[in-house]
Structures are given as C-alpha cells and as structure tokens.
Structure 1
C-alpha cells in the first residue's frame, strides 16, 4: 500500500507551474579582478597591453642588433662595397674574410687577443676566489674583526685613492710594464663581495652548524656546502669580473709602455678612436695626409673579435642573474 504526501498549502496555491524548474538567467562574463596578493605587473596583460609590449620589445631589440649587424657586415665586405655605401654597409654585397685573415696573421692584434684572454682568465679566477673567501669571512658573525673589515670595505665603495696615488703604488711595487698591473689593482670589487656576502648569509645556519658538529672546519664548509649551494651567485660575480677584465683598457694605457703587451681593447682604441697603426700590426695602410687608417673593414673586424667572447659567455650565465643578484640584494 503506497502513501502519497499531500502538497503543502503554498504548492496548492501556486499550481503545477510552480513545481517546474525555472531556467537560470544568462550570466554575463564577470570581469577578471586583480588579486589583492599580486602586483599589477604580475597580472596577465590584455590584448592592447600585449601588443604594446611586443612592439616596444621589438623596437629595443632592433636598436640593439642593428649596430652589431652593420659592424659585422662591414667587416666581411669588400672595399668597393664600403665605398659605394659611403661608410658602414647596410645592404649585403660581396663577402670576404680578408680583414680577419689580415689581423689574425700573427701580428699585434693576434698577440693582443691572446693577452686579453689570459688576463681575463687569470684575473677572473683570482678575483672570484678572493671575493668568495672575503665574503664568506664577512658573512660569519663570529669571525675576526668582522665589523671593522666590513666598514672598511664599504668605505672603498664611496671613496677612492685617486689615479696618482694608485699609479705611485703600482710603480713602487714594481708592476709597471707587468701583466699583473692589469689584474691586481682591480682584483677586488666591494660590490661583488657584498653580493656574495648577502647570498651566504641567506643560507640556513642549521646546515653549517650541523657540519661543525660533525667536525668540519671552515674550509670544508665553504668548499663542500656553501660554495655548491651558491653556484648562481658565484657565476654572476665571475661574469662581472670577466666582463670587466675583458673590456678594461685604462690600466693598460697607464701601466704598460710596451706596445707588444697591450690587450685587445687598447689596440682597438688605437685603431678606431685615435686612427693610428701600431708597428708590426699588419693592418692596412696609413693615410699620409691625415694619419688615419684607411681599412674600415679591419677596424670593424677588431670590434667583432672584441665583442664575440662576451656574446658567447653571457647566455650561459644569464639564467643565474635573477637568483644570484636579486636574491642576494633582497637578503642583504
């Protein structure tokens, strides 16, 4: 025997139409609101913003790449194409590698390139090792003379001895006409030491304390724990030092009197800015009337040789910049 439930008073009054499901009203798409926990630049851009960003980035890339394009194209162009274009070549013509063959034929440019490579390699290694040791010592609160040494390091960022006292010091140390004059005066950068110090201080002290309990000393903690965990920061600092040594020419101009010991950047300055040719360089001819070098492809080829190493090394370290520099700056 089945029983039925009597409808309520509201249902009897409204009739059977009230028991049918009503269709839901059409909802308009809600406008996406910005989260309170995210910054404006972290939001996904709209169509207009995306287009503006793409146009701006494309313009910046074009402005950066166009000079490199003209320099590279001029270095592999013939003298007839350069004369036809009135200077730097924009439209490709006949290609030739005679400029590179001329400067890499064993003259002073080849020797200068070798000097730059050796000075950059030795200087970067020495500066990175010394900066890492200094940063680790300054990052330990209980280290010897921690605060006075840090204060002295900060002073060097704002006050320098000057050119003449530095030259007198280098001369007193017997470094004139020595390759060490290109390395030792700029071996330590206070800014790079502070970056490494900030990164080292961000490492959890419980890790180093556990290593000390197991009997590890400072050298083992630095080599086995701190340095492997700080590869990003050390790689960025090494890149800073490498770029600085590779592009440096002022110390060579001050301390090196022998042209045979000049690095590539000083030779490039002699060719491009001063318009003179060094003895034994094998670079083109000199205009008797003006004293300027007539071989524009040779100048551009030397510039390409000076830029290529940085362009090859930078992409390998670029991915460490965010983690190495920004993290260290925040933690500092």
Structure 2
C-alpha cells in the first residue's frame, strides 16, 4: 500500500532530493574534471578547457610520473607508513578502549580525563620536535609512526563499542575458566570487526594524505612519502615568469606543471578508491555503534 504524504512532507522530500543532488554534483564534478584533465594535452586544457576527443588526450603525464624513481619510491614509502601506522593505531586504540570499557578497572574515570585533556591542550610543534630528537627518531620511520599513534578520539570510539558488547558473553566465558586475554581474542575481538575496520580506515587515510610530519622529521629523500614527493615536484615546477628569459622554456614548464599536477592527484587517490569498497560494509555499522551506545 503506497504511503500518502502531506504537502509539507512532499516539500521536505523534494528539498532533501535537491540537497542530495547538489551534494553529489559538488563531489562528482571536480572529480570528473580532474580525471579527464589528467589525460588531456595541457595546451588544449589551458586554451579550450575539457575535451572528450581522443586526439586531445595523452598519457605523457602518467608516463612521467610512473617513470620517476622518486615517485615510485614515495608511493611504496607512503604505503608502508600508512599500513604500519594503521596497525599501530588500531592496536593501541583497541587495547586501551577495551580496558577503559571494563567497569572493574580502578581509576578509569581519571584515565579518561587525562586522555581527554590532551585533545584540548598540547605541547606544540617545538616541544614535540625536541622530544622526537631526544629519542633519536629523527630521519627514521619511527618519527612518522609513533608521535601520532595514540589517538584519543579512536580510543573513545573503541571504548564505546566495547561497552555495547553483552556482558553475559564475558561472564559465561569466565565461568568456563577463560582468562581475560582469551576472552578478548576469542570472543570480543571477532565481534569487533566493524570498529577495527573503521579505525584502520581513518588511520590509513589520515596517514596517506599526510606530509607535514615527514617534512619536519625526515631529511633523507629516500624516506619521503608520496605526498611529500608530489609537493616537491609541484613546487619545483611553479617558477616565477620573471626568472625565465626564454618564453618557450616558460611555456614548456607551465605545460609540464599542468600535466603532472592532475595525473599526480589521480595516482595518489587510487589506493583510497580501491580500498574503500572493501571497508564500506563495516563503515556505517562501526561508526554508528562506536559513536552512540
């Protein structure tokens, strides 16, 4: 039986549809522009804009990026940093959240208060840099992985999720003689796939898009992640016109900059686009349960 809507309901539904279409366009139009522009001849793009004619397209931008050893090395470094950072962050968040969700833990309110304080007050960049230097982590992988490994928001999400796990399951396991470690790994953790995948996705995306920590702590170019390599390439191709006397050289530099820019954005986004469909089935459930009890 079809549902009858009042005039006001139809107005709200129509307004909602318009808003959804506008949101989709805001996302799809720039994405379409970047993907098409990455395949286009820069001179055509700058003079006439987007073109869907095959004769106006070229793969030169992708060839230049993929043939650049620094790009390939940066891609592998970014993948290593993102996967490792996600593993460390998820491990810390899950263990801390599980401990703080247990009412038997004495002083858990104090621990949560101390954690939350760090969300509003921090030492700042200079003290953090000095700490990393004193620990001997400068110009090492650990300088990228460890300073941000403890994320209080992720701990709160995981704690809230674990509080939603039925206490009866753990009590039944205790009656059967299971230890706390056994309960966690055999009962609680298998039920925690949604929140684990959500935390892993958050950490991976955040680290993949990050370049500031690497720029501050890493001097060795062989350790630079992809985003820092892209930043260097784009900055090097943005030259002041007054510094170039040869107009042909200036035009070629502009052409090369445009070609690399869009192709680099597409290449750096591929892992996230490929990964998201595998996490989608856990994403909504994990965010909902982890945010609200």
TM-score category, normalised to shorter length: 0.7 to 0.9
Contact 2:198 2:287 in 1 (8 A): yes
Q: Any idea what SS the aligned residue of 1:230 has? A: helix
Q: Tell me the equivalent position of 2:147.
A: 185
In the alignment, which of 41, 49, 52 is matched to residue 92 of structure 1?
52
206 and 134 in structure 1: CA distance in 2 versus 1, 3 angstrom threshold: same
Q: TM-score, normalised by structure 1?
A: 0.77
RMSD: 2.6
Which structure would you say has the larger RCO, counting Cα contacts within 8 Å and 6 or more residues apart?
2
In the alignment, which of 68, 76, 82 is matched to residue 120 of structure 1?
82
CA offsets 1:153-201 (integer angstroms, 9 cap, x no match): 1111111111111000100111111111111011111000100001101
| CA–CA separation in structure 2 for the residues paired with 1:83 and 1:298 | 14
CA-CA distance at 1:320 after TM superposition: 2.8
32 and 105 in structure 1: CA distance in 2 versus 1, 3 angstrom threshold: closer
Q: Which runs of 5+ in 1 are unaligned?
A: 1-30, 35-43, 278-283
Q: Any idea what SS the aligned residue of 1:58 has? A: helix
Contact 2:40 2:51 in 1 (8 A): no
In the alignment, which of 77, 98, 103 is matched to residue 141 of structure 1?
103
Q: Tell me the equivalent position of 2:19.
A: 56
Q: Tell me the equivalent position of 2:37.
A: 74
In the alignment, which of 136, 145, 148 is matched to residue 174 of structure 1?
136
Moved more, 91-100 or 288-297: 288-297
Going by fraction, where is helix more abundant, 1 or 2?
A: 2
In the alignment, which of 150, 164, 167 is matched to residue 126 of structure 2?
164
4+ residue runs over 3 A deviation: 31-34, 44-52, 284-288, 290-294
| CA–CA separation in structure 1 for the residues paired with 2:181 and 2:206 | 28
Q: Tell me the equivalent position of 1:23.
A: none
CA-CA distance at 1:259 after TM superposition: 2.3
Moved more, 89-98 or 123-132: 89-98
In the alignment, which of 295, 300, 324 is matched to residue 262 of structure 2?
300
Are residues 1:249 and 2:204 paired? no
The structure having more radius of gyration, on CA atoms, is 1
Q: Tell me the equivalent position of 1:262.
A: 224
Q: TM-score, normalised by structure 2?
A: 0.87
